[in-house]
Amino acid sequence: NAGVTQTPKFQVLKTGQSMTLQCAQDMNHEYMSWYRQDPGMGLRLIHYSVGAGITDQGEVPNGYNVSRSTTEDFPLRLLSAAPSQTSVYFCASSWQGTQYFGPGTRLLVL
């Protein structure tokens, strides 16, 4: 049981590039979410999904897209990276309201 996995661990992008952050969980949790963590601001919710085929926006959704075609996978897409998206990104899956986090992806946008 690997829990929540994220790839890559670290990524450098140039402004305007696009990329997808991968997230997968093997706990059969219906709920998954993406957060970003910036210094001094804690974690902020970007997007979440309550099950396959269902997604919704969180607190800071602009510049990000998500899809949920399977229960296991919940990728986060940056359409056109901006320096303001430099952050650490955490994926989480949830069971009865408690969220379990992946190891994070550190993203640097130049």
Partner 1 sequence: AQKITQTQPGMFVQEKEAVTLDCTYDTSDPSYGLFWYKQPSSGEMIFLIYQGSYDQQNATEGRYSLNFQKARKSANLVISASQLGDSAMYFCAMREGGRNNNDMRFGAGTRLTVKP
Task: Indicate whether 25 belongs to the interface with partner 1 (CB under 8 A).
Answer: no
Nearer to partner 1 by Cβ, of 78 and 90: the residue is 90
Task: Indicate whether 90 belongs to the interface with partner 1 (CB under 8 A).
Answer: yes
**Residue 50: partners with Cβ closer than 8 Å, 6 or more residues away:** 30, 31, 56
| Interface with partner 1: number of residues (CB under 8 A) | 26
Task: Indicate whether 58 belongs to the interface with partner 1 (CB under 8 A).
Answer: yes
Task: Indicate whether 64 belongs to the interface with partner 1 (CB under 8 A).
Answer: no
Q: Per DSSP, what are the bridge partners of residue 34?
A: 47, 91
Nearer to partner 1 by Cβ, of 38 and 79: the residue is 38
Nearer to partner 1 by Cβ, of 31 and 64: the residue is 31
Query: Hey, what are 4's tokens?
Result: 């929540």
Q: Comparing C-alpha atoms, which of 77, 79, 25, 78 is closest to residue 52? A: 25
What is the identity of the amino acid at 55? Answer: T
64-66 and 31-37 as β-strands: parallel, antiparallel, unpaired? unpaired
Return residues touching partner 1 (CB under 8 A).
31, 33, 35, 40-45, 48, 50, 58-59, 88, 90, 92, 94, 96-101, 103-104, 106
